[in-house]
Amino acid sequence: MPDPRYSVPTAAESVQQLVDMLQLKHLDPNDAAGAGPSAEDHFLGPVFKQAYWRVFGGQVLAQSATAAMQTVEPDRLIHSVHGYFLRPGDATKPIQVSVDRLRDGGSFSARRSQAYQDGTPILSMIASFQRPSPGVAHQRRMPQNVPDPEDLAPPQELVGHVKHPIVHEWAHGRPFDIRHVDRPIYLEADQDPHATSAVWLRTKAPLPDDPDIHRAAILYASDYTLLEPILRRHGLYWAKPEMKVASLDHAMWWHRDARADEWLLYVQQSPSAQNARGLAQGWIYSREGALVASVAQEGMVRPPEGLRPKLSEKMQQTLVHSSRATRQVNKKYSETWSSRYLDS
């Protein structure tokens, strides 16, 4: 449930929180709660209050990857992570990350990161690192005819008028500015069901020049909207009463360096959904068209059942459609949101 005492951070505060949460404290093994073998490195990551009691999954991913980054030589760059979300994190408690140095070869290194709260694992991740080397190169082409981010609505224009702490956080409290190429599905379903989605995103303020912070920040942001193609395809949306959505796993491959404080295009699609699970894939491009990263995630999606959520949704949609702000936004951007850049 939302915390009524929660105060939504400003744009500058939210970006500073993102930077601060990536500054992990290296613990003495004797001080690490539930410490494993002495060969492991232990880190403590800060957690900041959120409107909802759960820790955002992208934060746990980014902190676990950052911890692993601190155990390799500086010339070995992270190129992939594969993580499983084991339990929801508590947004009122710090996160401890243990890193097992699995292998250091001639060119590649492997690390296993485990994120804990109260001695219980909440995420398990394998990360791989490589010393840069020459070789073959090609990339998937960036979609054409995508509207520019300047022509799309910022989140505060879309839902900033809604008096609800979680929606208010979507509008103002996130460190990333997220601009939807498709009709946003915060408060209502997309009336043109399709299993694709795309957003432009960048942090709301500049980040430090450390490339590892930008790599971790892109990983953080990759968890925001990746399940949206599944929701769109089935006429679902984030605020649908009593709907349950949760990330189950997350994989990301870094291909080329980019800054998280410059516009990135995140194109997503879902090839399949079944058994209350949906698979989503994503590709992140720089504005110049370089393929920065590829992403994959499976998520649990359980639409609500029964009469009570239907009644709640009917009342909610009456309010949404009667909102002057919503009508104005829909009128202003409806033509732009009709852009199509991938086959449905």
Catalytic annotation, residues: 223, 247, 297
Q: What is the pLDDT of residue 344?
A: 37
User: What mean pLDDT do residues 30-56 have?
Assistant: 77
- pLDDT tier at 273, thresholds 50, 70, 90: very high
Between 31 and 268, the more confident residue is 268
- What is the bridge-based pairing of β-strands 291-302 and 95-104? unpaired
Q: How far apart are CA 137 and CA 99, in angstroms?
A: 31
User: What mean pLDDT do residues 110-137 have?
Assistant: 96
Q: What is the pLDDT of residue 36?
A: 47
pLDDT tens for each residue of 234-266: 999 999 999 999 999 999 999 999 999 999 999
State the number of CA atoms in the 13 A half-sphere of 336 facing the CB: 19
Q: Which residue has the tokens 């698979």?
A: 279
Q: How far apart are CA 266 and CA 282, in angstroms?
A: 7
pLDDT tens for each residue of 12-32: 999 999 999 999 999 977 665
Residues 6+ apart with CB under 8 A from 188: 237, 317, 320, 321
What's the chain's average pLDDT? 92
